[in-house]
Structure formats: structure tokens, C-alpha cells
């Protein structure tokens, strides 16, 4: 049982920056950013490649985060001026990234098991120390993002998601905010890739598949549950982060529970999808007086 709990907590921890990125993209930028799938892999790929080349882990992580941000900027650039739908731009950016990641890695999988990473020395001292350090990195990143969203820049980013035309009328450079917003979400996603690669011990070209959709499901779930206990009429970024955490924990709880029940992995995503639908339908409060057609 304790193994199951540890597994859920550790998986949730590395997935949290990605869920937070999706939450920002979904609730602040009001766009479904599919680039997150690609930048998650890009983060892991760049980090793993640089580590195997002997680059110091901190520098490798910084480069991976920059690559993630650049992937986001690519998606923002494709959308520039609202000419391409954000969803399509994300798909196109991920399409480009899938090739770029493979070129960068040189092979579909890079092992990090024998390499020195940001957390490897901590894990050598014990799992608890290793996970505590990982948690420290993740929470620092999330809290820095939280502070950024609470600043005037964050307020303007929310205004951009709400009404870009009005923001432009106020003299703000909306394309700059689009770039910054998408760079931020993809930087977080790349960070999740970096943490995942370090904790699982490898970077794989297919590790980002379906991450965005999983994340969206998890954050909607977390949101609906949080709304039941804590209802605020206005936006609270702290509550968004808590909602992400709840959603991610529930997702990995379901995943690990299914795995512990020896379910054939072929059916895993199908069952998870159905479970997500059941959770969502149970969590969403029906609108009073609404008609059902």
C-alpha cells in the first residue's frame, strides 16, 4: 500500500508542472495548447542529450527549459495575428517538434541511469532525499510561476486571454503577450519533461503522447472537485495550482490502481478515459432549471 502511495505521489510531482502549464493555457490564455506534448519531450530530450555530452546538469536543465519556451514561441508565431487557430498551431508545432526531437536525440531513447543529473546524488543518499529535492525543484518552479501570474504581467496575460482586442486598444502589444504566455506554458512543460527523464532514468521520443489531453482531463477534474469545497467568484491562481494537484493525484491514483489490478496495458487509456468521463460527470454540478434535450 505504501508503495502505491509513494508511486502516486512521485508521479504526480513530476507531472505537476505540466498540469499547471495546461491550466495556465486553458484558463488564462484560453487556448488548448497541444505544443505541450512536444515541448515535454523536447525538455527531456535536450536535457538527456546534453547530460550525455557531459554538460553540467543545471546548465542542461536551463537549456531544456529554454528549448521548451522556444517551442511555445513557435506555436505563438504560427498563430500570430489570429490567423491560425491555437489548437491547430499547437498540433503543427508538435508535428515539427516530433522530427526536431528525434534529430536532436539521434535515437528514440537516451538512458540517464549511469549519468549525473540534478537529483542523482540525492537519490544515492536515499529515495526520500531524492524525492524531497525533486519536490523542492518542482515547488520552486510552481511558486515562481504563481508569483509571475500574480504580478501585473500575469494580470495583463489574463486580460490577453479574456479580450485581446481590448488589450490592443489599450496600447499593449498583444503578440508579445501571446509569445510570453505560450513560452511560459511550454517552459513548464519542458521542466516536467526534465524531471520525468531524471526520475524514470531515460528520455523517450514517445513519452509526450497524449500528455495534453490527460492534463486537461486532470485539471478539469481537480477544478470541479475544488469548486465543490471552495467556491470563489473570481480567479485565484493559488486555487488553480491546488486544483491541478488534486486532479493529477486522482489521475495517477486511478492509473496505479488499474496497474495494481493487473489490467492489460492495452486497455489502460481506454479505461482511464471512461473513468475520467465518470469522474467529470459526477463532479460537475447540474445547472438548476436547465433543460436536457
Partner 1 sequence: MTILRINDVFLQFAGSNRPALQKINYQIHQGDFVILLGSNGSGKSTLLKLLHRQYQPGQGEIYFHDKPIRQHHYHQFSRQVAVLNQNVADSLFTSLTVYENYLLMNQQHTLRSRHQEGKTFLQNYLQDFNPNLSGKVDLTINQLSGGEKQALALALCLLEPPSLLLLDEHTSALDPKTSEQIMQLTQKMITQHNMTCILTTHDLDIALRYGNRILMLNDGSILNMFDKDEKGRLSKDKLVRCYYA
Residues that bind partner 1 (CB under 8 A): 150-152, 155-156, 158-159, 161-163, 165-167, 169-171, 233-235
User: What burial class does residue 112 get, using C-beta atoms within 10 Å of its C-beta: 0-12 exposed, 13-18 middle, 19+ buried?
Assistant: buried
- 166 vs 257 by CB, closer to partner 1: 166
Q: What interhelical angle do 174-200 and 57-79 show, nearest 10?
A: 140
Three-state secondary structure call for residue 286: coil
In the complex, the smallest distance separating the C-beta of residue 225 from partner 1, rounded to whole angstroms, is 21
Q: Distance between CA atoms of 265 and 277, rounded to whole angstroms?
A: 19
Torsion of CA 258, 264, 265, 271, to 10 degrees: -50
CB of 189 to partner 1, least distance (A): 24
Smallest distance, Å, CB 238 to partner 1? 15
Cα distance between residue 149 and residue 157, in whole Å: 8
Query: By C-beta, is 81 or 234 nearer to partner 1?
Result: 234
Measured from the CB atom, the residue of 171 and 286 that comes closer to partner 1 is: 171
- Cβ of residue 237: shortest distance to partner 1, in angstroms? 12
Q: Among residues 228 and 236, whose Cβ is nearest to partner 1?
A: 236
Q: How far apart are CA 133 and CA 108, in angstroms?
A: 28
Residue 110's φ and ψ, nearest 5 degrees, are -125, 125
Query: Which residues lie closer than 8 Å to 245 by C-beta, 6 or more apart?
Result: 12, 16, 19, 222
Closer to partner 1 by CB, 49 or 158: give it: 158
| Smallest distance, partner 1 to C-beta of residue 248, A | 24
Of 37 and 240, CB closest to partner 1: 240
Per-residue CA distances from 287 to 158, 224, 291, 292 (Å): 26, 13, 9, 10
Provide, rounded to whole angstroms, the least separation between the CB of residue 157 and partner 1: 11
What b/e string do you get for 39-60 counting C-beta neighbours within 10 Å, with b at 16 or more? bbbbbbbbbbbbbbeebebeeb
Minimal distance in Å, beta carbon 52 to partner 1? Answer: 44
Task: With H, G, I as helix, E, B as strand and everything else as coil, classify residue 99.
Answer: helix
CB of 89 to partner 1, least distance (A): 22
Residue pointed to by grid coordinates 519542458 = 190
Amino acid at each position: 500500500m505504501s508503495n502505491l502511495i509513494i508511486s502516486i505521489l512521485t508521479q504526480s510531482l513530476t507531472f505537476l508542472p505540466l498540469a499547471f502549464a495546461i491550466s495556465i493555457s486553458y484558463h488564462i490564455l484560453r487556448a488548448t495548447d497541444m505544443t505541450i506534448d512536444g515541448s515535454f519531450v523536447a525538455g527531456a530530450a535536450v536535457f538527456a542529450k546534453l547530460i550525455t555530452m557531459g554538460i553540467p546538469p543545471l546548465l542542461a536543465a536551463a537549456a531544456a527549459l529554454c528549448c521548451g519556451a522556444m517551442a511555445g514561441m513557435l506555436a505563438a508565431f504560427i498563430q500570430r495575428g489570429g490567423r491560425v487557430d491555437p489548437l491547430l498551431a499547437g498540433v503543427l508545432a508538435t508535428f515539427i517538434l516530433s522530427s526536431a526531437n528525434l534529430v536532436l536525440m539521434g535515437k528514440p531513447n537516451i538512458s540517464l541511469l549511469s549519468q549525473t543529473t540534478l537529483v542523482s546524488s540525492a537519490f544515492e543518499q536515499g529515495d526520500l532525499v531524492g524525492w524531497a529535492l525533486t519536490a523542492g525543484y518542482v515547488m520552486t518552479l510552481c511558486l515562481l510561476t504563481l508569483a509571475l501570474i500574480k504580478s501585473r504581467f500575469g494580470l495583463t496575460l489574463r486580460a490577453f486571454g479574456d479580450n485581446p482586442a481590448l488589450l490592443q486598444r489599450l496600447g499593449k502589444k498583444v503578440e508579445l503577450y501571446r509569445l510570453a504566455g505560450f513560452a511560459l506554458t511550454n517552459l513548464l512543460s519542458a521542466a516536467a519533461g526534465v524531471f520525468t527523464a531524471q526520475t524514470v532514468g531515460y528520455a523517450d521520443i514517445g513519452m509526450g503522447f497524449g500528455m495534453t489531453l490527460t492534463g486537461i482531463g486532470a485539471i478539469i477534474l481537480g477544478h470541479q472537485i475544488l469548486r465543490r469545497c471552495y467556491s470563489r467568484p473570481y480567479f485565484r491562481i493559488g486555487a488553480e495550482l491546488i486544483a491541478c494537484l488534486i486532479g493529477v493525484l486522482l489521475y495517477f491514483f486511478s492509473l496505479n490502481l488499474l496497474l495494481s489490478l493487473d489490467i492489460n496495458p492495452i486497455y489502460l487509456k481506454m479505461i482511464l478515459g471512461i473513468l475520467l468521463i465518470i469522474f467529470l460527470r459526477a463532479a460537475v454540478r447540474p445547472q438548476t432549471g436547465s433543460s436536457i434535450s
